[in-house]
Amino acid sequence: MIQIAIMGLGTVGTGVAKVVEENAEQIQHKLGEPLRVKTVLVRHLKDGPYRHLMTDDFQKIEADPEIRVVVETIGGVGAAYEYTKRALAAGKHVVTANKQLVAEKGCELLELAKAHDVSYLFEASVGGGIPVLHPLTQCMAANRIDEIYGILNGTTNYILTRMVRAGATFAEALAEAQAKGYAEADPTADVAGIDAGRKTCILADLAFGRQVDPEQVPMEGIAGLSLEDVKIARRAGYRVKLLGRALRLPEGGHTAYVAPHLISEENPISNVEDVFNAVMVRGNATGEVMFYGKGAGEMPTASACVADVMECLQASPRRQEIGWSDSTEGFQDPAELRTRHYFRIAGSLSDAAAAFGDVEVLSENGETAFLTDVISGQDAARLSGKLNVRACMRVLA
Amino acid sequence: MIQIAIMGLGTVGTGVAKVVEENAEQIQHKLGEPLRVKTVLVRHLKDGPYRHLMTDDFQKIEADPEIRVVVETIGGVGAAYEYTKRALAAGKHVVTANKQLVAEKGCELLELAKAHDVSYLFEASVGGGIPVLHPLTQCMAANRIDEIYGILNGTTNYILTRMVRAGATFAEALAEAQAKGYAEADPTADVAGIDAGRKTCILADLAFGRQVDPEQVPMEGIAGLSLEDVKIARRAGYRVKLLGRALRLPEGGHTAYVAPHLISEENPISNVEDVFNAVMVRGNATGEVMFYGKGAGEMPTASACVADVMECLQASPRRQEIGWSDSTEGFQDPAELRTRHYFRIAGSLSDAAAAFGDVEVLSENGETAFLTDVISGQDAARLSGKLNVRACMRVLA
C-alpha cells in the first residue's frame, strides 16, 4: 500500500481524493499495489466525506514516514511554498497544479527536489488534464523547441467564443461566464492574462532551459477588446484569441508574452472554442504538434495530479529531465518580435498609408481597420504615434 | 559517451542518424553525456554519409557491449522480429517505429524486455512525431480509458481532403498523392486501412491492457468511397474521414475497427486535413483530449525514436507501465456497436422508411441518402437487406 497526503481541499484537492477512489482499480493495476490518501491538510477542520483524514497540522504530514508523495493544491506562494519546501526536504515527492508557485519558484523547488533525490512534478499546472509538459520534455526531448503558443485560459476563451458567436460584448460575455461558473467572482487573473502568463512562463522555462520570470513577461488580457474588432477580424477570415507565446528569436535569445491575436481560420487553433485549451509546440525535427482538451475542471486537473503521483513512484529515484537554469539570460523584450499588426484607427486609409505605406484594408466606415506588413512591435508603436489608434493586435503568422 | 545502433537505413533510420547529429547539443544537455551512432546494420553495404558505420552482420551489434540501445527501422516481422528478440536477450534496449511488429508481436517482445530488464519502446509507431502513446500510458495513467479514435494515416487523409476540396475522385486523388510522394507505389496498406488498423491495435492494447489482434479487427479502407457521398455529407454538415476506433462497450468488453465515418463539422477532428493525423483519447476523469500533428515523415518519426532512446537511458532500469496481457479475452465484434448509420440507396424515401422507419433525409435525386437512428451494425445490415445499397458508413456521435 502506498500512502499519500493532499494539502488543501478545494476543487482540485477534492478531485484528487475522488480520482484515487474512483479509479483505484486502474491505479493499482499500474502501480502493483493500492494507492491511498492517508492525510488531508486543511486550514480549518470541517465536516465532509474526508473528515476522518483531516488535520490542520502540517507536521503530521512532514513527520509521517509512511507518506511518500504530497499533492499540494493550496495555491499561491505563501503556505504552499513553505510546505512544499519542507515536504521536499523531508524526502517526499511533491506534485502540484499550482501555476503561480511553479512560475515563480519552480527552479528553486526543482533544485531542492534534486538535492533530496525526490521528484517535483506539475503537469496539471498547464492545460489541466491535457498532457503538455511531459510530452514537451520527454517525447520531444530530441528536438530544439523553437516556439510554443497556446490558448491557455478557458475562461477568456469562453468569453471570446461568446463574443464571436452571439455578438455579445465583453461585459455581457463575462457575466455569462460567471453565471455558468466558468469565471471567478473576481475574474482579474483570468481576464488580465495573468493566469495565461504564468502558464506561458512554465512552458518557456522548460522549452528554453532558462528561468523566465513572470515580471519580465508582458501580459495583456481581453478586457479592452472591442466587439467591433472581433467582427472585422471574422469577416476577413481571422479569429481573435488570447494567446500565450514563447519563442526563440532568429537573432538569438528568446521571448514570451500574452496578448490577444488575430489568427487565420486555416490555423487549427483558431477553431478551439468555449472552455477548451490548446497548446501548439514547434520542434525543429517534429514540426508543429498540438495538444487539445479541457484545460481546467476538477476531474481533469486532478487526474493529471494523480498521474504525476504515479510517475514519482515509478521513476526511481526521480525524474531526471525536468528542470532549468535559474539564469534569466537571453530574455528579449517581445517588442522586438516582428509580425504583421492589425490596427483600427479613427482616420482614413490615407492616414494609415501615410504611417505604414502599403497596408491591407479590412474595413472602412469612418474608422479604418487594416493589416500592416511584418514589422516589430516597436515599429508598430512608433509608426502609429500620430494616428488615433482604437485597437492594435499582432497577427499570428 | 552513450553508443547506439540503427538497424535499417531507410527513411526513418536515416532520420534517426540525422537527428542524433543535428540536435546533439539538446540531447547531450538532457542526457548529461553525448549520444553517438556507433553501428548501422544494412542488408547490403553501400556508399553514403554513414558508410563508415555500416555492417551487414547483426552479430557486430549483438555482441558489442558498448551498444546500449538498438533502433529498429527495418520494418515488417521477418528480420526485424528476429533481431529485436536477440537484441533484447543481449540486454539492449530496443526502440522502434515498426507498427506491424508491435501490433503482431508487441506483447511477446515486451515480456522478453521485462525478463531482461530492458525497455522496448515504440512511440513512433503511432502518429509519427506526435506524442500519443506516452501521454496515453503515463499522463493519463489515473484514467480508465473509454475510447480512442483517430485519423491515423496521412496518405488516406490527404486523398480525402483532395476529394472534399477539389472534388477529385478517389483515383485522381490517389494519383496526386503518389506524385507528391505521400503514397507508395503500392498503396494497399494505406488505402485498405491496414496501416491505420495496426496503429488502432497498438492503441487498443495499451488502453485496455489486452492483446487486440490485427486479424480480429475489421479494416475497411477508402478505395470504395464515392465522391458522391463525400459531397452529400459535406452539404449536410459532415466530413468523411477514415477513422481507427477502439472503445469499451457499455455491456462490457471492448472492440476496435477501421472504417470511413461521417463526422460532424463541430467535432475538431473533422478539420484535420492533408497529411495531418489526430488522435482523440477519452478518459473517465480527463474527458476528451486530442493530439495533433504530422503523423509521418523522416524527421518527426525519427525524433520520436530518439526521444525513446533517451527515455530508455533515463528510466532505470526500464519503463514499468507499458505492457498488456496476451489474452484476447473481451474482444467483441464491432458489428454490435450502436451508432447512427449513413446510407445511400438506389431507391426512394419510402423504401428507406419501409426498412428503417423514421430517417433523416440528406439528399433525394433518383437515389436517396439518409441517416438512420442509433442502431447496431448488425441491424444496419439486416434492415437494409432488401435495399439496393450504394454506400453505408457509420456516423461518429
Minimal Cβ distance to A27: which of B142, B297, B310: B142
Q: Is there a single domain that holds both residue A156 and residue A116?
A: no
Phi and psi based region of residue A302 (left: phi greater than 0; alpha: psi -120 to 50; beta: remaining):
alpha
**Residue ending a domain, choose from A282, A314, A346:** A314
Structure-block grid coordinates of residue A328? 534569466
Q: Does A199 touch chain B (CB under 8 A)?
A: no
Are the Cβ atoms of B285 and A321 closer than 8 angstroms? no
Question: What's the confidence (pLDDT) of residue B316?
Answer: 64
Q: Does A206 touch chain B (CB under 8 A)?
A: no
Q: Does B286 touch chain A (CB under 8 A)?
A: yes
Tens digit of pLDDT for each residue in B201-248?
Answer: 999 999 999 999 999 999 999 999 999 999 999 999 999 999 999 999
Are the Cβ atoms of B138 and A299 closer than 8 angstroms? no
Tell me if B331 is assigned to some domain: no
Q: Is there a single domain that holds both residue A143 and residue A285?
A: yes
Residue of A nearest to B133 (CA): A139
Q: Does B147 touch chain A (CB under 8 A)?
A: no
Q: Is there a single domain that holds both residue A221 and residue A269?
A: yes
- A338-345 and A238-248 strand pairing: unpaired
Residue of B nearest to A297 (CA): B286
**What CATH number should be reported for the domain holding residue B310?**
3.40.50.720
- Determine the residue among B20, B289, B314 to mutate to test chain A binding: the one whose Cβ has the most chain A Cβ atoms within 10 Å: B289
B120-121 sheet: strands from edge to edge: B54-55, B35-41, B2-7, B67-72, B93-96, B120-121
Tens digit of pLDDT for each residue in A136-181?
Answer: 999 999 999 999 999 999 999 999 999 988 999 999 999 999 998 8
Burial category of A365 from C-beta neighbours within 10 Å (exposed 0-12, middle 13-18, buried 19 and up): exposed
Tell me the β-bridge partners of B396: B263
The predicted model gives A213-232 an average pLDDT of: 95
Q: Does A123 touch chain B (CB under 8 A)?
A: yes
Q: Is the model's pLDDT at A69 over the cut of 70?
A: yes
Residue of A nearest to B317 (CA): A316
Question: What's the confidence (pLDDT) of residue A73?
Answer: 96
A54-55 sheet: strands from edge to edge: A54-55, A35-41, A2-7, A67-72, A93-96, A120-121
Question: What's the confidence (pLDDT) of residue A206?
Answer: 96
Handedness of CA A233, A234, A238, A239 (dihedral sign): positive
Tell me if A74 is assigned to some domain: yes
Structure-block grid coordinates of residue B375? 442502431
Question: What's the confidence (pLDDT) of residue B323?
Answer: 84
Minimal Cβ distance to B310: which of A23, A142, A304: A142
Which residues from chain B sit within 8 angstroms of residue A26, using beta carbons? Answer: 141-144
The band of B314, judged by pLDDT with boundaries at 50, 70 and 90, is confident
Rounded distance between C-alpha atoms, residue A352 and residue A355, angstroms: 5
Rounded distance between C-alpha atoms, residue A285 and residue B181, angstroms: 19
Are the Cβ atoms of B300 and A287 closer than 8 angstroms? yes
Question: What's the confidence (pLDDT) of residue A9?
Answer: 94
**What CATH number should be reported for the domain holding residue A360?**
3.30.70
Are the Cβ atoms of A293 and B290 closer than 8 angstroms? yes
Distance from CA of A217 to the nearest CA of B (A): 25
Q: Is the model's pLDDT at B121 over the cut of 80?
A: yes
Question: How many separate domains does chain B show?
Answer: 3
The band of B374, judged by pLDDT with boundaries at 50, 70 and 90, is very high
Q: Is the model's pLDDT at A317 over the cut of 80?
A: no
Q: Is there a single domain that holds both residue B368 and residue B341?
A: yes
Tell me if B21 is assigned to some domain: yes
Q: Is the model's pLDDT at B183 over the cut of 90?
A: no
Q: Is there a single domain that holds both residue A268 and residue A368?
A: no
Q: Is there a single domain that holds both residue A242 and residue A381?
A: no
Per the CB < 8 A criterion, the answer to whether A327 and A210 are in contact is yes
Q: Is there a single domain that holds both residue A96 and residue A112?
A: yes
Question: What's the confidence (pLDDT) of residue B88?
Answer: 98
Q: The domain containing residue B182 runs over which residues?
A: 133-294
Tell me if A243 is assigned to some domain: yes
Question: What's the confidence (pLDDT) of residue B76?
Answer: 95
Inter-chain contacts counted by CB atoms under 8 A, chains A and B: 186
Rounded distance between C-alpha atoms, residue A125 and residue A295, angstroms: 10
The predicted model gives B253-278 an average pLDDT of: 94
Q: Is there a single domain that holds both residue B392 and residue B284?
A: no
Are the Cβ atoms of B287 and A294 closer than 8 angstroms? yes
The predicted model gives A248-255 an average pLDDT of: 94
Instruction: Kindly name the residue from B18, B114, B180, B199 that is annotated as catalytic.
Output: B199
Tell me if A328 is assigned to some domain: no
Are the Cβ atoms of A134 and B130 closer than 8 angstroms? no
Question: What's the confidence (pLDDT) of residue B184?
Answer: 81
Mean pLDDT of chain A: 95
Write out chain B in H/E/C secondary structure. Answer: CEEEEEECCCHHHHHHHHHHHHCHHHHHHHHCCCEEEEEEECCCCCCCCCHHHEECCCHHHHCCCCEEEEEECCCCCCHHHHHHHHHHHCCCEEEECCHHHHHHHHHHHHHHHHHCCCCEECHHHCCCCCCCHHHHHHHCCCCCEEEEEEECCHHHHHHHHHHHHHCCCHHHHHHHHHHCCCCCCCCHHHHCCHHHHHHHHHHHHHHHCECCCHHHCCECCCCCCCHHHHHHHHHCCEEEEEEEEEEECCCCCEEEEEEEEEEECCCHHHHCCCCEEEEEEEECCCEEEEEEEECCCHHHHHHHHHHHHHHHHHCCCCCCCCCCECCCCCECCHHHCEECEEEEECCCHHHHHHHHCCCEEEEEECEEEEECCCEEHHHHHHHCCCCCEEEEEEEEC
Tell me if B256 is assigned to some domain: yes
- Write A178-182 long-range contacts (CB < 8 A, 24+): A182/A154, A182/A155, A182/A158, A182/A275
Distance from CA of B95 to the nearest CA of A (A): 13
Are the Cβ atoms of B285 and A143 closer than 8 angstroms? no
Q: Is the model's pLDDT at B319 over the cut of 80?
A: no
Catalytic residue IDs of A = 199
Minimal Cβ distance to B285: which of A23, A139, A316: A23
Rounded distance between C-alpha atoms, residue B178 and residue B158, angstroms: 11
Residue of A nearest to B315 (CA): A315
Half-sphere exposure of B193 (CA within 13 A, CB side): 26
- Determine the residue among B139, B151, B266, B314 to mutate to test chain A binding: the one whose Cβ has the most chain A Cβ atoms within 10 Å: B139
Mean pLDDT of chain B: 95
Tens digit of pLDDT for each residue in B3-56?
Answer: 999 999 999 999 999 999 999 999 999 999 999 999 999 999 999 899 999 999
Tell me if B326 is assigned to some domain: no
Per the CB < 8 A criterion, the answer to whether A226 and A391 are in contact is yes
Q: Is there a single domain that holds both residue B10 and residue B121?
A: yes
Q: Is there a single domain that holds both residue A240 and residue A158?
A: yes
Q: Is there a single domain that holds both residue B115 and residue B141?
A: no
Are the Cβ atoms of B315 and A315 closer than 8 angstroms? yes
Q: Is there a single domain that holds both residue B108 and residue B165?
A: no
The predicted model gives A257-285 an average pLDDT of: 95
Which residues from chain A sit within 8 angstroms of residue B315, using beta carbons? Answer: 315
Question: What's the confidence (pLDDT) of residue B180?
Answer: 87
The band of B295, judged by pLDDT with boundaries at 50, 70 and 90, is confident
Which residues from chain B sit within 8 angstroms of residue A268, using beta carbons? Answer: 268, 271-272, 292
Q: Is the model's pLDDT at A316 over the cut of 70?
A: no
Which residues from chain B sit within 8 angstroms of residue A141, using beta carbons? Answer: 26-27, 30, 306-307, 310-311
Q: Which helix (H) or strand (E) holds A49?
A: none
Q: Is the model's pLDDT at A320 over the cut of 90?
A: no
Q: What is the ipTM of this complex?
A: 0.92
Handedness of CA B187, B192, B193, B198 (dihedral sign): negative
Handedness of CA B79, B85, B90, B91 (dihedral sign): positive
Residue of B nearest to A208 (CA): B26
Tell me if A324 is assigned to some domain: no
Q: Does A289 touch chain B (CB under 8 A)?
A: yes
Q: Is the model's pLDDT at A183 over the cut of 90?
A: no
Are the Cβ atoms of A320 and B311 closer than 8 angstroms? no
Handedness of CA A246, A248, A254, A255 (dihedral sign): negative
Are the Cβ atoms of B139 and A134 closer than 8 angstroms? yes
Rounded distance between C-alpha atoms, residue A114 and residue A320, angstroms: 9
Residue of B nearest to A141 (CA): B307
Structure-block grid coordinates of residue B93? 534496449
Q: Give the pTM.
A: 0.94
